[in-house]
Structure 1
Amino acid sequence: MNILFDFYHNLGWPLSLLVIATFVLAGTVKGVIGLGLPTVAMGLLGLAMAPSQAAALLIIPSTVTNLWQLAFGGHLRGLLQRLWPMLLAIFIGTGVGTLWIDMAESHWVVRGLGGALLLYALSGLCLPTLRVGSRTETWLGPICGIITGIITSATGVFVIPAVPYLQALGLSNDELVQAQGVSFTVSTLALAAGLLWRGSLGGGELGASLLALIPAVLGMWLGQWLRQRISAVLFRRVFFIGLGALGGHLLISG
C-alpha cells in the first residue's frame, strides 16, 4: 500500500494538491470536448516538475479514459482498418524518439512542451477546416503518425498533428471521437513503453498514476454534466486560449 503514496509523500503536499487539481481540470476538459486530458496535465504539471514525471503520472488516467472513449460508438473495427498505418507509425515514431530524446534530462524539453501546446492551441483557434482525400490519406497518415510519435516521446503531448489530421478525414462526430480515443490510446501505451525503457516508469510512478485516476474520472463526470449546460464551442475556444497562454509561458521561460 505504501508504494501508492510514496511518490506523493516525496512530492510534498503543495505539489500533491497541484496534481489532484490538475487531473480534475484535465478530466473536466476531456468530459466537455472529448480530448485534452494529457495536454492539460502535461502543461500544468510541467510548470512544477520534470516532463518525465508528469508523463508518468498521466499514463493510467489517460489509458483508462481513452479506452472509455473508444469503447462506445460502434465504429472501432472500421476505424482500425482505416487508421492502422497511422497508428503503427505513432508507435514507431515514439520508439525512435525515445532512443533519440531523453525527456528527463533535456532542459529544452520544457520549451518543446510549450511549443507543442502553443502550436496545438493555434491550430485549434486558427486552422481552417481541411479535407484529406483517400489517395493523400495513404501516405499522409503514416507521416502524421511518425511526427506525432516523435513529439509524444519528447513532450508527452500526442495531439499534433494527429488531431488535425483526424479532423480532416471527414469522419462523423461519433467516428471522430472514437478515432481520437484509438489514437490517444496507442500514443499513451507507446509513451509508457518509452518511459519504462528509460527507467522513468516504476512501481512508485504507476501507483501514483493509479491514484491520479480518481480525480481524472471525477473531472470527466463533471465535464459530461457541464457539457449539457454550457456551450461546447465557447468552452473549446476558452480552452485553446488558455492552453496557448500556458504554452507560450513554458516556451519563453523554459
Structure 2
Amino acid sequence: MDTTFWIIATFVLAGIVKGVSGMGLPTVAMGVLGLVMPPVAAASLMLVPSFVTNVWQLWSGAHLASLWRRLWLMMAGIFAGTVAGAALLADGQAGWTTPALGAALVVYASYTLLARPLHVPARLEPWLSPLMGVATGIITGGTGVLVVPAVPYLQSLGLQRDDLVQALGLSFTVSTVALAAGLVWHGAFDAARLGWSAVAVVPALLGMWLGQMLRSRISPPLFRRGFLLCLLVLGGELLLRAWR
C-alpha cells in the first residue's frame, strides 16, 4: 500500500478516535504506523498533529492555572524522562523498539479494560506525581506512546470531567514537546519528517471533526471498549514481531 495513503488514513482514523474519546491520537498513530515503519519514524510523523490537537484540548477548559499548580511536578518529570528516554527511540533499533511499542499498547489496553479505577489520596500526590511523570516520560521517550502511566494516574486523582480532559491535554502537550526536543537532541528528527508531520495535521483535524460528529450518534463506552480491543490486537501484533 502506498505510504502516503497509509499516513493519511492513519491520521484520519487517529483523529476520529480523539474526536470521540478526547484522547488516543498519538497512540493510534504510533500503533498503526509502527506496522509499516520504525517507531522513531512514526514518532516524528506524529509530533505536529499531536501538538496541534493537544493544545486545542489544553485550552478548551477554564482551570489551566490551577491544574498547572497541582501537576507541575508531574509535568517536570514527564519532560525530563521523555528527553532522556528519547535516546532509546533515537537508536532506531526496531528489533526491540517495535515490540516495546507493542508491549506498551497491550499493557495500557489491558489495564484500562480490566482494572478497577484507583483513587490516589491528596497527601500522596507531592511524591507520587513526579514518579509517575518520570515513568511516563521514559516510556514516551522509548516508544512514542504518551499514555502510560499518566492516563490511569490522572484518572485516579478525582478530577471533574472537564478538568480531567484539560489535564490530559496538558500531559499530552508536555509529552509531545518533550519528545520533539528529545528526538532533536539525539539527532533523530529531520526537516523532511517535519514537513510530512505538518501535512498530517489536515487529516488529523478532519478525523477529529468526524469524531465529534459521531460522538452524539454512538455509545461512548461501546466505542471506548472497541478502541481498546483494537489497541490490544495491534499491540499484540507488534509484540509478536520479535519472535518471527
- Residue matched to 2:159: 171
Q: Which residue, out of 179, 190, 211, partners 1:191? A: 179
Q: Kindly report the root-mean-square deviation, in angstroms, between the aligned alpha carbons of the 2 structures.
A: 1.1
How far residue 105 of structure 1 moved from its aligned partner, in angstroms, is: 2.6
Amino acid in structure 1 at the alignment position of 2:30: M
Post-superposition shift, 1:102? 3.4
User: Number of aligned pairs?
Assistant: 242
Structure 2 equivalent of residue 226 of structure 1: 214
The answer to whether structure 1 residue 71 and structure 2 residue 59 are counterparts is: yes
The change in CA–CA distance for 1:51 and 1:129 in structure 2 (over 3 A counts) is same
Q: Which 10-residue stretch deviates more, 137-146 or 173-182?
A: 137-146
* 1:82 pairs with 2:38: no
C-alpha contact 1:131 1:168 (8 A) present in aligned 2? yes
User: Residues 207, 102 of structure 1: CA spacing in aligned structure 2 closer, same or farther, 3 A cutoff?
Assistant: closer
TM-score (norm 1): 0.93
**1:124 paired to 2:112:** yes
Given candidates 26, 30, 48, the residue that maps to 2:18 is 30
Q: Which residue of 1 aligns with 2:42?
A: 54
Alignment check: 8 A CA contact 2:39 2:144 kept = yes
Matched, 1:152 2:140: yes
* Superposition misfits of 4+ residues, deviation over 3 angstroms: 99-103
Counterparts of 1:98 and 1:201 in 2: how far apart (Å)? 11
Q: Is the 8 A contact 2:136 2:150 kept in 1?
A: yes
Give distance in 2, aligned partners of 1:98 and 1:35.
22
CA deviations 1:91-143 (Å, max 9, x no partner) are: 11112213455352352000000000001101110111110011111111111
| SS class of match (2:176) | helix
5+ residue gaps, structure 2, are none
| Partner in structure 2 of residue 39 of structure 1 | 27
Which residue is equivalent to 2:230?
242
TM-score normalised by L of structure 2: 0.97
* Superimposed CA distance per residue, residues 50-79 of structure 1 (whole angstroms, 9 cap, x where no aligned partner): 111100001100000000001011010010
Structure 1 spans left out of the alignment, 5+ residues = 1-12
The answer as to whether partners of 1:101 and 1:153 remain within 8 angstroms in 2 is yes
Structure 2 residue matching 1:107: 3-state secondary structure:
helix
Deviation, 1:198, is 2.3
